[in-house]
A and B are shown apart, each in its own frame.
Chain A
């Protein structure tokens, strides 16, 4: 899958949203052992809303577009790597919440508020690497893929180790 859309906020700022297949090696290894088809799709949202904060209506548009893209793709698992450095636009930095944690929470709320958009049962999953300054992946998957997620986490870690050894 490789899809992209530009969404314009009510204040006229442009957001670029894309969905693309990724981690094929992770997918292939698990499919071979578990015989359950699935496809990991990476979500990317780029924006620099200078004219005002992104409203819930805009987030709803983003969620609706994503759900439209994946609703007829039963094998899809969505991955979002939460940026841990870039500050959140229009939000005062919080001592208690790191940017990655904020983005992760935002994704949870965004999809939970749009439950009626999809006919499937979806689960929010957070994959956290490290403790102090964690790297966070937000994962959205159907109930039917629940048994795969710990395998994906393990395989992702092992794939990252292999990539590091090759470099």
Chain B
């Protein structure tokens, strides 16, 4: 790996894009909750 780091900024995404990103965030949180539930089930 070169260790080079680049940044692409999309400073003003549309409201529609923000709405989908928010849903992606919710899905991420749901996945985390599912993982915690799975842990609870295997190690009650």
Contact = CB atoms under 8 A, between A and B. Distances in A.
Interface of A: 14, 16, 44, 46-48, 81, 83-86, 108, 111-112, 114-115, 118, 120-131, 135, 143, 149-150, 153, 157, 160-161, 163-165
Contact of A120 (B1, B12, B39): B1
A124 B8 CA distance: 11
Contacts of B6: 123-126, 149
A160 B20 contact: yes
B16 A161 contact: yes
Contacts of A115: 1-3
Contact of B32 (A46, A121, A150): A46
Main secondary structure of the interface of A (DSSP, over half): mixed
Interface residues of B, number: 29
Interface of B: 1-14, 16-21, 24-25, 28-29, 31-32, 35-36, 39
A62 to B, nearest CB: 15
Contacts of A14: 39
A165 B2 contact: no
B32 A123 contact: no
Contacts of A149: 6, 8
Given A48-B36, A85-B29, A135-B25, A157 B5 contact: no
